Amino acid sequence: MNLATFWFILIAILWAGYFVLEGFDFGVGILLPFVGRDDAERRVMINTIGPVWDGNEVWLLTAGGATFAAFPLWYASLFSGFYLALLLILAALIVRGVCFEFRSKVDSPRWRANWDRAIFAGSALPALLWGVAFANIVRGVPLNAAHVYTGNLLTLLNWYGLLGGLVTLSLFTLHGANFLSLRTSGELRRRARRAATSAALAAIPLAAVFLAVTQYSHGKPATDITAALAAVALIGGAAAAARGREGWAFAGTAVTMVLAVATLFGDLYPNVLPSSTSAAYSLTVNNASSAHYTLVVMSWVAIIFTPVVLGYQGWTYWVFRKRLTSSDIPAVGQASKTAEPAGGRP
């Protein structure tokens, strides 16, 4: 295995990590208006992901940075080609990120309701668009001889891309429901479990059709196995959710994400961005990668620091493992209550 292939695998791992982690916090955001009945419940939901969502999003930034360093041509063609789709994702991530921070800074139902709507939209839009993006990467996009994308936003919104989008949307929702039922208790936990069942009813057929179509057009024997295992993990996760085995359910959807990403990247290899214009114009692991020395440097950095990052990020989940309920919420506004009057001359 050469270093370029090693980095292709590493980037696949970063995306898998991103989908497993940000997947559930997208899911919690999507479920916010459906599972949380009142402000207190919605606060509980947001606080389950409060300490971790930002760290989860860094997986995306690291995947982006790693692609830039290890496959500059892939980064350049992909990011400039998917320009408007990425703009939508960026706008959604910006809005969503500040929502969490700003929502409870003002004690007003209307203020909070507005931020709640924004959290829903800011979570649902990227959840859909990441699927659209990855389906199109596997399917191939129009690239010219200079590897420059020649399509537009509508090129990406083909039926296969949209199907991929619905798969990630429903999978992340299911994953988020499983996470919520693990991290909450009481009525909220019961509702999260019911939401998991509904999401599974959408996710299972969508994912099955998507994986079948993908394997039919782009499949290989090895990825047929990962695709089949992904389906098993998904069904197993959904069954566990229905039986109230919350830990297994969450593990099931997490494994589904990992295997689905493995399937897509496996189908893609050795391409990184296939050209639908001509196979000769495709970007591959070899023609898109950085030179050997850069890959060596980055490999050492990754080998040394990835375990450290995984260690402290994993520890965070351990620190915040306790279930949350509405009764844990301090009296509204207590955090910002002040004894010093702001009066005086203006």
Residues from 311 through 330 that contact other proteins (CB under 8 A):
312-313, 316, 319-320, 322, 324, 328-330
Q: Considering only CA atoms, which of 175, 138, 125 is closest in space to residue 24?
A: 175
Q: Is 145 in the site for other proteins (CB under 8 A)?
A: no
Q: Is 298 in the site for other proteins (CB under 8 A)?
A: yes
Task: List own/partner pairs for 278-287 with CB under 8 A and 24 or more apart.
Answer: 278/145, 280/145, 281/143, 281/144, 281/145, 281/147, 282/140, 282/143, 283/71, 283/73, 283/74, 283/77, 283/143, 283/147, 285/4, 285/5, 285/8, 285/71, 286/4, 287/73
Strands 283-284 and 271-273: antiparallel
Choosing from 2, 84, 187, 303, the residue that interacts with other proteins (CB under 8 A) is 84
Nearer to other proteins, 40 or 208 (CB): 40
Total residues contacting other proteins by CB under 8 A comes to 84
Nearer to other proteins, 41 or 267 (CB): 41
Q: Is 154 in the site for other proteins (CB under 8 A)?
A: no
Residue positions counted in the chain: 346
- Please give the Cα distance from 229 to 146 (Å, whole number): 38
Q: Is the distance from CB of 203 to CB of 175 less than 8 angstroms?
A: no
Part in contact with other proteins (CB under 8 A); list of ranges 28-36, 91-99, 186-194, 204-212: 91-99
- The structure tokens 């990227």 sit at 126
Nearer to other proteins, 62 or 215 (CB): 62
Residues from 229 through 288 that contact other proteins (CB under 8 A):
none
- Please give the Cα distance from 225 to 259 (Å, whole number): 9
Choosing from 8, 17, 43, 133, the residue that interacts with other proteins (CB under 8 A) is 43
Q: Is 331 in the site for other proteins (CB under 8 A)?
A: no
Part in contact with other proteins (CB under 8 A); list of ranges 148-156, 170-178, 198-206, 265-273: 148-156
Part in contact with other proteins (CB under 8 A); list of ranges 95-103, 130-138, 235-243, 251-259: 95-103
